[in-house]
Structure 1
Amino acid sequence: MNEAEVLNSQLNDAVYDQDKEAVLELLEQGADVNSKVDHGWTPLQTAVRKGDEELVRLLLARGASVHARKDNGGTAFTEAGIAGNVEILKLLLERGSDINEQDNNGFTAFMEAAWYGKEEALRFLYSRGAKVNLRREASEERAKLHKGGATALMDACRECHFSAVKILVQEMGADVNIRDNRDRNALIHALKKDSDKRRHESPVPIVSFLLEHGVDVKSKDECGKTALILAVEMESPELVTALLEKDEIDIDDADEEGNTALMVAVNKDNCRIAKLLCEKGARTDRGNLMRVARNNRSSSMENLLREHKVRLAPETPRAWEPNSKRWRAQLKKLDQMYRPMIGKLKTFPYFQQKIQDGIYLGLHGGTEVAVQITCSTEGDKEKEFLEKCSHSEHLLKLFQSEKEKGCMYLCFPLWEKNLQEHLQDPEGQKDYKAALKIIFQALRELHSLGFAHQDLQPGNFVIDLGGKIYLADFGSERRSIEGQEEFVKSDLQALGRLVLYVLTGGRKPLQQVGIEDLPRNSPDYTEARDLVQSLFSPDERGLEGLSKHPYFWSNQSRFNFLKSIWNKIKDDRKRKSIFRDPKAFPYPQWTKMIDKDVLYVMEHPRNAKPTKYGNDVTQLLRLMRNMDEHKDEGITNKIGDYAEYFLEVFPELTTYVYNSLRQNPTCSHLADFQDPSL
């Protein structure tokens, strides 16, 4: 170490030892007040850790930064949340700390205070605006591993700080049913066994409290274990009894290994809990219970199982290959594991089997399905709506449904990916125009049923194995459009943003993409821009008319449209009235832009009088019509396909002519051009 490094190291040691005289002396000798030692600790962070308010003030007065971060992203303020010193928290806030600042793992000072049970600090931070239900933000890499997303309440539950849990829920309104990125709620965190606090504190009071406050008992941990299975693993009869009193508990639910609560109890040789489960009707024909009891040399367990008529029912895995490529591994796993059947449905609602939020893999009578789980009342309404979609081509249809214990299981034909995933797949073939045609058609079908969607986002468009796109409504935001034109208008505006999202390849989040992001080098740029602007400011065309917008026309249809206008409007005065503003015409010198040889041939036709083409739009349309009706071999050899040539040289012409016609009351019908491909 050089001299400066030695001084800085000594400064941090002096702060740790709370030796104020040494700190002052080292600062006078030139030690850096913002220097860092191992793992990025600064003197200020060390003083906060020690809870030494006087030292904190001294260092701040000497220029210590409250914004400096350790290697893990922690600041003096997040460290103060761990220490729980309210005066230091107050002081750091006065010096510019952010109440909700997070370290690299997403921890805030409020979360740290909850983790360490610092109740006074919790109350202070809440009074200053700390977000109670904030979920830990994870980096993209961590999120892919399903890490992050926990809340302060989950931390307090995991560390068995019962008083902090009560404060968070009763005084601060903490949501007991928020889930982290592994789909675990506060109840699951309270039942996890990996905390040192388990040696000294019982989770029973916290679990009982959460049950009283409406926590969802169906949540699972990262291994698919239910709260009941976790309670059995903890060998807590009190918790098992409390959970079994809840009607929502599925006593025969199993984890990803196929183990039920009873199988776990037998394996642990816990007769008291096994008896509780058997008396509550747990199935005894799953797993080789008697063999496990014999291997444990437990005669009492064997006797208990005999009382409940245990019989062996071995299962042999079937040789089966799913149709789905993407979900193959998880479907095979689902097929082979034990799961309690819901009618003809086999599903496992935990994060490894999740398709997207609220949607899980399933097998209904052996058919691969996507399963949406709702409460029965909502499910009945949803089922009634889905039955109306049965004749629609591009609205997601219901395959089957099942009901059990107040829940409705809606089963849909399984899809491979949603629109967002499709656009972001580097290997996927993407025909944006074809996809948008279907998206428009799907929304038209929904509107024809009398509903506006109100949640047009990429996750609600799903794509099956054959590449067919369907519109779903998993957010159930749809509204009746009867007498509610504003709902239709908001759908069209949302559709405009979705068009931008698709045409920019999903590179930006839906709410951030704008017209300026459209690729200018696209041959459809002008038409796409006009389509989006028309959706953002809907007019009399509505969705039906905009589905026939020039953006969707083929190049040949655009060319046919342009050259037909000269023939359809015979009166020269009428042509001039349609295109009355010469300044709006994007090509006022078009005769200089077109190939000079082409123009010469057209102005000097064989066996006809020479003619002259002016620079206005009607003359350009006349030339296009004459060229196509009197084809010249020399021109064809030079420019190739006429439609491709003109649309490349004059890319804004179609939109200009289309809008000019549309805005003229006597000729607006001519803009309603029928492209055979539509």
Structure 2
Amino acid sequence: NSKSLQTFDKEDDSDRAALSGDLRAARQVVTTGCNIDERGTNGFTAVMEAARLGHIDILTFLLTSGASANVINFEGRKAPSCSASSADPSRKVLLAFDANVELGDVNGQAPLMVAVKLGSVEVAKLLIESSPNSSHAMNKEGDNVLGIVAYNGQLEIVRLLLNCDLKVNLSNGGATTPLMLAAAQGHAEIINALLDNGAWNGHTALTFAAESGQVEAAGVLLEGGAQVNTRGVDSAPLTPAVQRDHVEMIKLLLVHSANVNLRDSDGDSALHEAVYSRSVECARALIQSD
């Protein structure tokens, strides 16, 4: 049996020294004929550990000795993902040795998706610059990178992605576009950026904002031409605002000529919904506008 560089359960000073950043010890262990890509008891290879811990000399030595930057651990992660929260030099070394920045893990998540979920702006920049195609990554659930960052409110990454010739209206597995996700979370600046890059601004994103009570986001959408009186599957945006007692949202929609008499799929008007909800403030806003 070949010896692993990545063994934790053996009383071996050389292995422990290699993992702690001792380059001389690492060289000694590698020359004994160990399996350089073997995963340890935690599922990590030596390259993954070196990347995670920021041991640049060890990382470079392992890669030049033939170690792979693309081995997947027990959790479905690989070295670029392991380094997503460590120092930049680790990631640059991995990319220099052709770490595949577009290769997904067992959940279909490319390193860029992991980076944006962690909020690592600098990592995302590096990955996008190294491989613009990585911005098109999707996971098994159909989530795409632009949708994730739009939902998270990561404006800087949104702007980077929009420079990569992305399909700005690409929906996720739930048929939700990045604009809808940004609207639901109230990220007004991201909404503006998406609209400037051709995002469809019909009634659905406005409905998302109305449901969530995101007044500023709704205002941006309305100024951008959102359709206030178009009915979706169930209703126009005014109805969910009334159902959720978002009085300021109701007032905003009414200022933009929302039709208080438009009926939903059940035949109810917005005033009916206010009565059902026993909301005096909503009813007052609707009556005063009529």
How many residue pairs are counted as aligned between the two chains?
Answer: 272
Q: Distance in 1 between matches of 2:50 and 2:202?
A: 44
1:57-109 per-position Cα deviation (integer Å, ceiling 9, x unaligned): 354466643231123532212333x3374422332233342242222333223
What SS does the aligned partner of 1:207 have?
Answer: helix
**Who wins on radius of gyration, i.e. which is larger?**
1
**Structure 1 residues 241 and 137, CA gap change in structure 2 (3 angstroms):** closer
Runs (5+) with no aligned partner, structure 2: none
Residue 301 of structure 1, aligned match among 282, 285, 288: 282
Deviations 1:264-291 (A, max 9, x none): 1112212111122233223433336445
- 8 Å contact kept, 1:67–1:97: yes
Q: Is 2:214 aligned against 1:187? A: no
Quote the residue 1:20 is aligned against: 21
Alignment-derived partner of residue 187 in structure 2? 203
- Letter aligned with residue 215 of structure 1: A
Q: Is the 8 A contact 1:154 1:186 kept in 2?
A: yes
Describe the SS at the equivalent of 1:131.
helix
Q: Whole-Å Cα distance in 2 between the matches of residues 51 and 230 of structure 1?
A: 42
* Structure 2 match to 1:157: 150
Mapped to 1, the partners of 2:108 and 2:177 lie a distance apart of 17
**TM-superposed deviation, 1:295:** 5.3
The question of 1:92 aligning with 2:94 is answered yes
User: How far did residue 308 of structure 1 move?
Assistant: 4.3
- TM score, norm. by length of structure 2: 0.75
The CA distance in 2 between the partners of 1:161 and 1:126, in whole Å, is: 15
User: Residue 281 of structure 1 corresponds to which residue in structure 2?
Assistant: 258
**RMSD between superposed Cα atoms in Å:** 3.6
* TM superposition score normalised by structure 1: 0.35
8 A contact 1:115–1:152 mirrored in 2: no
Q: Which residue of 2 aligns with 1:175?
A: 167
Residue 65 of structure 1 aligns with an amino acid whose one-letter code is: S
1:138-175 CA distance string (max 9 Å, x none): 4xxxxxxxx32x433223212211111122224x3433
Aligned partners of 2:196 and 2:287: how far apart in 1?
36
- Does the Cα contact within 8 Å between 2:210 and 2:240 map onto a contact in 1? yes
Matched-pair contact (CA < 8 Å) for 1:177–1:215: yes
- Which structure 1 segments of 5+ residues have no match? 139-146, 194-201, 220-225, 310-678
Q: 1:71 aligns with which of 64, 69, 74?
A: 74
Which has a greater percent of strand?
Answer: 1
Distance (Å, rounded) in 1 between the aligned partners of 2:179 and 2:246: 23
Q: Give the Å deviation of 1:228.
A: 0.9
CA positional deviation for 1:245: 2.3
Aligned to 1:216: 200
Q: Could you tell me the percent identity over the aligned residues?
A: 20
Aligned equivalents of 1:136, 1:155: Cα separation in 2: 10
Counterpart residue number, 1:105: 107
Summarize the Cα distance change of 1:130–1:52 in structure 2 as closer, same or farther, 3 Å threshold: farther
Q: Residues 320-346 of structure 1, C-alpha deviation per residue, up to 9 Å, x if partnerless?
A: xxxxxxxxxxxxxxxxxxxxxxxxxxx
Residue in structure 2 matched with residue 509 of structure 1 by the alignment: none
- State the structure with bigger RCO (CA 8 A, min sep 6), 1 or 2: 2
- What's the secondary structure of 1:83's corresponding residue? coil
| Distance in 1 separating the partners of 2:96 and 2:115 | 19
C-alpha deviations, 1:585-618, integer Å up to 9, x for none?
xxxxxxxxxxxxxxxxxxxxxxxxxxxxxxxxxx
Deviations 1:346-402 (A, max 9, x none): xxxxxxxxxxxxxxxxxxxxxxxxxxxxxxxxxxxxxxxxxxxxxxxxxxxxxxxxx
2-side partners of 1:168 and 1:60: how far apart? 30
For 1:217 and 1:71, the matched residues in 2 are separated by 42
Q: Which residue type is aligned with residue 214 of structure 1? A: G
Cα distance change on mapping 1:85 and 1:176 into 2, 3 Å: farther
| Mapped pair 1:42 → 2:45 | yes
